[in-house]
Structure 1
Amino acid sequence: MARGKRQDVWEFFGDLLKEHREGAGLSQGELGGRVFVSGAYIGLFEQGIRKPQLDVAKRIDEVLQTGGIFERTWRKLIDKSPYASYFHAVAELEAVATKICEFAPTVVPGLMQTGAYARAVTLAVHPFAADAYVEEKVTSRLDRAQILQGTTRPEYWVILHENAILTPVGGPAAMAEQLDHIAALIRNRWALVTVLPREAGAHAHMTGTLKLMEFEDQPPTAYTETEFSGTLLDDPAVVKQAQRTYDLLRVATLSPEASLALIESAAEDYRRCASTT
């Protein structure tokens, strides 16, 4: 589903919330205080800019005595999401983060993927999927990436393991395009990318991806993902540990200049390979 349509359905949630809140005679601040978020957050919910977590939707039901309408509406809207259930909240948080730090050990992060690369990754995981399913996954991934080009784009730091550069996902031509895209993000100063070389050996995060997100008006979060599931972490002690892990990874990477040179050199190698096949 396109970004505009996704926004429209959450605006419906916001309109419903405003109607019930005003019917209960509560200000945004008063409702926020009772469901343990700020009044400003309630305002963002009502505008469809932010999407509440399920536990917040449940508390709204309890305070406004709606018989569960916000939980049911939340679940219906989540069912329409193109993302896996464990990733939906992460995609929503990315859109309001002021800083995102990622470590990608094997695959280029979704926010940096080109259409051809995303299509190859999707088909590798879902080889029997219908074309419509594949295209929905690719479109949703490209839609997410729009946050890197907006006027309020987050600081975007990425550590790529060299394996993600050397694995020819989608073939040489697709990889040349993908690496050219990463280089363009770097040169446009939309991303700061460093490469963890294979020669570094054992490193601080040996399994799965790691994502850290910071926000203007809420505590930072961490997200880890393996092949079949992901976990969003908000416990301050755990997030602090994840941040330390990312710091350890970063000190083992090549410099930004050396990383860009490696990425551009690999792109050229893939391009030569594609021209001879």
Structure 2
Amino acid sequence: MTQPRNTDPYADARAFYGSELRRLREDAGLSQDQLGQRAFCSGTYIGQFETAARRPQLEISKLLDEVLGSGEHLQRLCRLARTTKVADYFADAAELERQARTISECSPMFIPGLLQTEAYARALTRASQRFASQQVVEQLVSARLERAQLLDGPTAPVDWTIIHESALRVTVGAPAIMREQLTYLVETVQCRPNVVLQVLPFAAGPHPFMNTMVSLMEFSDAPPVVYTESAYSGQLIEDPALVAQFQSAYDLARATALSPEASLSLIRSAAEEWTTHEYHN
């Protein structure tokens, strides 16, 4: 999770932010730990910014500017460094997602981004970005499909996803899009041993994540984090006690959901039903 990126200050905006933070800190005669204490964070956190291992945060950049007497220099660089292909509120989670050893998701109403087909992603994005230009929609769809590539390769994380049965039944785009999406889910699980999928059926009743999408990420060299998302906003949670509470709730949802085998059977059945809908329309 803390592996440094390319620290050439001219490589990208994040690397330049890190080099400027290091320069300002050293000019002030402060160690990473000393600066962290004054900015109410750890020295390790400062080090992650300096090595471009983590995207800078605007709020912490404001504190650092105050401590280092650098005006709004780091805040301006932070805005540049936070330029991203995905929604800004998701950008930090997307960065951590690429470094995770295990990703455990629970989605109450739709198929999560890592498992979406292009057509499904486009229909879902258009629905949530009703007034956005087609160019913006296509950029978001492209970024989502790019994210899905992390499920392949020798370092791919284990992806354990729970989707509610609602996600199989709510029409996104058209029946043909739904059939393709559900068929893709089955094929993905069959072709990728690192992907586990469970369905939480209607019969299971209420569950802890009814109104929010949750993603728990575990790492080889850092504590786990949780990302929660609702419409147009998201939150990265790192407090150990709260992360543990989310983990317990996820374990309960996993125990309540159908087995992976029964889940695939239900998904196959739902895909066939969408085929019937397609013929009748």
TM bucket (normalised to shorter chain) is: 0.7 to 0.9
Amino acid in structure 1 at the alignment position of 2:224: P
Question: 2:241 aligned to 237, 242, 257, which one?
Answer: 237
Give the TM-score normalised by structure 1: 0.82
User: Which amino acid is the alignment partner of residue 238 of structure 1?
Assistant: L
Distance 1:9 1:273 in 2: 54
Deviations 1:96-123 (A, max 9, x none): 1211111111011111111111111111
The change in CA–CA distance for 1:9 and 1:178 in structure 2 (over 3 A counts) is farther
The equivalent position to 1:192 in structure 2, one of 196, 210, 223, is 196
Counterpart of 2:89 in structure 1 is 86
Secondary structure of 1:249 counterpart: helix
The percent of aligned pairs where both chains have the same amino acid is 41
Alignment of 1:51-62 (within 5 A): 51-58=55-62, 61=65
What code does the residue aligned with 1:161 have? Answer: H
Instruction: Determine if the alignment matches structure 1 residue 165 to structure 2 residue 168.
Output: yes
Give, in angstroms, the shift of residue 13 of structure 1. Answer: 2.5
- Determine whether 1:103 maps to 2:106: yes
Corresponding residue for residue 201 of structure 1? 205
Q: Report the 3-state secondary structure (helix = DSSP H, G, I; strand = E; otherwise coil) of the residue aligned with 1:210.
A: strand
Letter in 2 for 1:266: A
- Does the Cα contact within 8 Å between 1:172 and 1:270 map onto a contact in 2? yes
Q: 1:247 to 1:130 in 2, by over 3 A?
A: same
Q: 2:44 aligns with which of 38, 41, 49?
A: 38
Q: Distance in 2 between matches of 1:96 and 1:168?
A: 33
Structure 2: 5+ residue runs without aligned partners?
1-8, 37-41
Q: How far 1:24 moved relative to its partner?
A: 6.5
TM-score with structure 2 setting the length: 0.81
TM-aligned CA deviation for residue 170 of structure 1: 1.4
1:3 match: none
1:16: Cα distance to partner?
Answer: 5.0
- Greater Cα shift, 217-226 or 170-179: 217-226
Q: Could you say what the CA RMSD is over the residues aligned between the two structures, in angstroms?
A: 2.9
> Is the alpha carbon distance of 1:208 and 1:21 closer, same or farther for their aligned partners in structure 2, counting shifts above 3 Å?
closer
Letter in 2 for 1:263: I
Which 10-residue stretch deviates more, 55-64 or 101-110? 55-64
Which residue identity does 1:267 align to in structure 2? A
Deviations 1:52-83 (A, max 9, x none): 334554566567664443321111332x3243
Whether contact under 8 Å (1:200, 1:252) holds in the other structure is yes
Shift of 1:263: 1.4
SS of match in other structure, 2:88: coil
Equivalent position SS for 2:99: coil
Query: Match for 1:224 among 221, 228, 234?
Result: 228
Q: Give the aligned partner of residue 262 of structure 2.
A: 258
- Distance (Å, rounded) in 1 between the aligned partners of 2:183 and 2:17: 45
Q: How many residues align?
A: 265
For residues 149 and 245 of structure 2, the distance between their equivalents in structure 1, rounded to whole angstroms, comes to: 30
Q: Is the 8 A contact 1:120 1:170 kept in 2?
A: yes
1:144 aligns with 2:147: yes
